[in-house]
A and B are shown apart, each in its own frame.
Chain A
Amino acid sequence: MIRQAVILTLVLAVPALSPQDARPDLSFTDVAPGAGLTATTVFGGAKTKRYIVETTGGGVAFLDYDNDGWLDIFLANGSSFNGASATATNHLYRNNHDGTFTDVTRRAGLDKPGWGQGVCAGDYDNDGNTDLFVTYWGRNVLYRNNGDGTFTDVTEAAGLKKSRPRWGSGCAFLDYDRDGLLDLFVSNYVDFDLKTAPDPGSSNFCRYRGLAVNCGPRGLPGESNLLFRNMGHGRFGDVSEKAGIARARGYFGLGVLTSDFDNDGWPDIYVANDKTASLLFHNNRDGTFEETGVFAGCAYDADGKVTSGMGVAAADFDRDGWLDILKTNFSDESASFYHNTRDGLFVDAALQLGLGRSQKWVGWGCGFADFDNDGWPDIFVVNGHVFPELDGANLGLSFLQPKVVYRNVRGEYFEDVSARAGAAVTTLSAARGAAFGDFNNDGRLDIVINNMNDRPSLLRSEVRNRNHWILIRLEGVKSNRSAIGARVTCVTGKFRQIDEVRSGGSFFSQNDFRVHFGLGSATRIDLLEIRWPSGSVDRIPDCGVDQILNVKEGVGIVSKTP
């Protein structure tokens, strides 16, 4: 009797926990091998890398290329200089709806060797099928989705064939002039020519902590970015000069992020640059852009020092109605967290928010994702050094590195929960591209990662709680059909969450187009508001949770699952 009373007292003493308060750890399992994602991404030498082109790795895309409502996966593949990888190709894996994938690369017409880099998706011809753009050290390729499971290289017909090969890196479709047609932004990394490339160790730019390593990007010529306007009828025109994009020259461009940072309804463009100031192209709403990165406070770190920007992501982490920027950097540098202090002006608050403890890693793909559906977007970063020569050099650094996952604590700070997130997170790899999306449609966001000279990783979220969620797939009518640039506001009680449909992002990668919100314990959504790129606004009141909504511009919900 006494014992029962003690037990009862203990039970009563534990306060009832709401789903948010329970705060279960974020947890992931790498299901790639069992899911059929087995092809190795070839990217230069495994033990040594003679040239910088061997270091950047490839991007990855979550996209629904066959419109079946399930995310498929595209992985960019590279090459090597030893001749053993002439048949290495990009890969497209079709989702079998049962947690597995089938390699349909050849059938889709996407087998192509070369130094693949970035990938971004968008329905540039508004035919209802998601197209692909793949950047290369060489010539970039636009693949038109034929709607029958196959793609056609339409680069030349679209006017995107360049006069000379360049090192294309990040990319994103966006409708910068809001005419309903998707335009295309492409960053370029280094003006790199194998014939003139210096040897490892041949100058100060080719040494790292006493080791002779591949040269660059410092010491090599920088690049400028490209903006192509969609002229309609499947044709693009290079407006880089006219739009003011090409004025920024001599940078080492990598990750590309498009968002409306100043809430003026027009998409801006942020480019993470390696070893040079990052760039913010503010949309002047007249077809031109002004580069404002330094004054906006998102070009440098908190000391005004240049960092080595790689991957990029945006989210309103503290629900203040303004989109913030995450940028991954090199080792010895904290990731940058540019907190939007209103009007598209930022301060780097990385250290104050708890992102300063992982300065040992070289960060690449990154994303905001509400893994535990508590309504606060968390952060995931994949890492890996650029110099395999570090292994065995006794410098306290390694080529293969773990991933890092931070839980967003009520928009106040981020808590590093990597050590408790499972072997999928702590396992060492040379990760590069990373894309975020719900591949199994269970309402929990998963991650696909492109690893260098290794098979990909597919990190299935194992978070188990009773939090609610919503996934929203948008279809533009007057706006571009992919609805890229649409902003969704999700109101539950006093909370307002925002996010946008984006092409590109992370490091060279493409996230799920569907907008995801974690809802915590909320069982109804008071209001979903969609501001379309066309300027029209759709409002959907009193909406159910734990479902995937298909919303059409001007129509509203056209279908839902379940």
Chain B
Amino acid sequence: MPQPGKLLRCCSAIALSAAALWGQSKEAEIRAHLEQAEKASQQGDFHTAASEYRKVVELDPTSAETHARLGMIYNRLGKLPESTESYERALRLDPKLPRVNVLLALNYIAAGGCRDAIPLLAANFEAEANSPVRLLVGQRLVECYFATGDQDQGLALVQKLRQIGPDDPDVLYTALKTYMNLWNEAFQRLTAKAPDSYRTHQVLAESLEAQERFAEAANEYREILKLAPQLPGMHYQLGRMILRSDSSTDADQRALAEFQKELEASPAAPPLVEVGEIHLRRKQPAEASGYFSRAVQLEPGYVPARIGLAKVFVAEQQWPKALEQLEAAAKLAPEDEAVAYNLMLTYRGLGRTADAKRAYDTFQRLKTQRQQSRAPLVNPAAGAPAPGRGQ
């Protein structure tokens, strides 16, 4: 929704200066009407205010400021066409009148005229470089770009807004709504054009996983594998879902079978790490180390593999070996909590107390940062990435 109140307040000073330009007698009459209008406006008596401003306009039809003021009052009275006409007159008289073009644009948007609003908002967005009004203008502009089908401009502007106001709740809301609308639009198109495709099942699976409906997500992955048995990453994802959803005693074994199928088709670090974790849970640290090591060799930049290996060494108090993996991991992911935590334990084990304290401080800082930004937003499409292949 537009927020005319905020802009009305921004523009509240522009009308009062008009009276000074008039001759003494006329000036006195105009001043009296302006004072009445202002007083009525402050008391919320907008009908009287409008009447008084109209009298001023009759006395001095060339006052752009008074037309603008009258437009604002009409807006408060819900008289959109009259308000729009007053703003347009004001701008014809003085095209540089501050922010009236924004008010006019908001009226256009309210009347369904985004195409007319866009040039006004775009110009103002550039002109208001150092003003908080800029974010407000930008958000309306994003809405208009999408309303007129210009998604490229809209997305570009969302990104720009996020750079300008990265923590602004209104900006973040605009971004969220934008991405969600795009997701919905693409998903509806996908289900309309290819309802039985593996991609449709994939989206459903990832959406169900994001909702922690792991058993249903597993079923979707099974459907995908029927349709596209060779699709990379799907056995891996199915294995993960089995582990999350299944409480039967052989769940580990069935997940393991899926990970092995994934590895047979295409070795990658993520399923190797999962297999390592299963062996760790089975109290088979030597086997677990083997899988973690293979993952490190295959993808030296895959941090979970190094963490897995390091955790085995930490539990066995093999501090130098743990340190080797953790220092490599810290270079790859200096902001990883698990790396910082295990580094603290390892330095502590090695008797390097000062280093341990530093790692402790890093860990606490990362923990605090994450807790402060822990808004559990639910992205309906967020699933884990396919192993080693990106998305």
Contact = CB atoms under 8 A, between A and B. Distances in A.
Q: Do A and B bind each other?
A: yes
Interface of A: 204, 208-210, 294-295, 297, 300, 302-305, 332, 334, 339, 341, 345, 347-349, 351-354, 356-357, 359-360, 394-398, 413
B240 interface: no
Nearest to B344: A295
6 contacts: A303-B338, A349-B315, A352-B312, A395-B215, A396-B246, A396-B247
Residue in A204, A347, A349, A354 whose Cβ sees the most chain B Cβ within 10 Å: A347
A209 B212 CA distance: 4
Contacts of A209: 211-214
Contacts of B281: 334, 351, 356-357, 359
A353 B345 contact: no
B219 to A, nearest CB: 11
B214 A395 contact: yes
Given A209-B211, A209-B214, A339-B315, A303 B348 contact: no
B280 A294 contact: no
A394 B213 CA distance: 10
A359 B244 CA distance: 10
B378 interface: yes
Contacts of B282: 354, 356-357
A353 B360 CA distance: 26
B315 A347 contact: yes
Contacts of A356: 280-283
Nearest to B340: A304
Interface in B200-215: 211-215
A278 to B, nearest CB: 14
A553 B180 CA distance: 71
A397 B215 CA distance: 10
B255 interface: no
B285 interface: yes
Q: Which 4 A-B pairs give the minimum distances between C-beta atoms?
A: A304-B341, A356-B281, A360-B247, A354-B283
Q: Is the interface of B mostly helix, strand, loop or mixed?
A: helix
A347 B341 contact: no
Contact of B245 (A339, A354, A395): A395
A395 B280 contact: no
A412 B343 CA distance: 25
Interface in B346-375: 348-349, 356-357, 360, 363-364, 367
Contacts of A398: 247
Residue in A303, A304, A305 whose Cβ sees the most chain B Cβ within 10 Å: A304
Contact of A348 (B211, B315, B356): B315
A34 B107 CA distance: 81
Contacts of A359: 281
Nearest to A304: B341
Contacts of A353: 283
Residue in A294, A339, A413 whose Cβ sees the most chain B Cβ within 10 Å: A294
Interface in B303-319: 307, 311-312, 314-317
Contact of A204 (B252, B283, B316, B376): B376
Contacts of A332: 244
A294 B245 contact: no
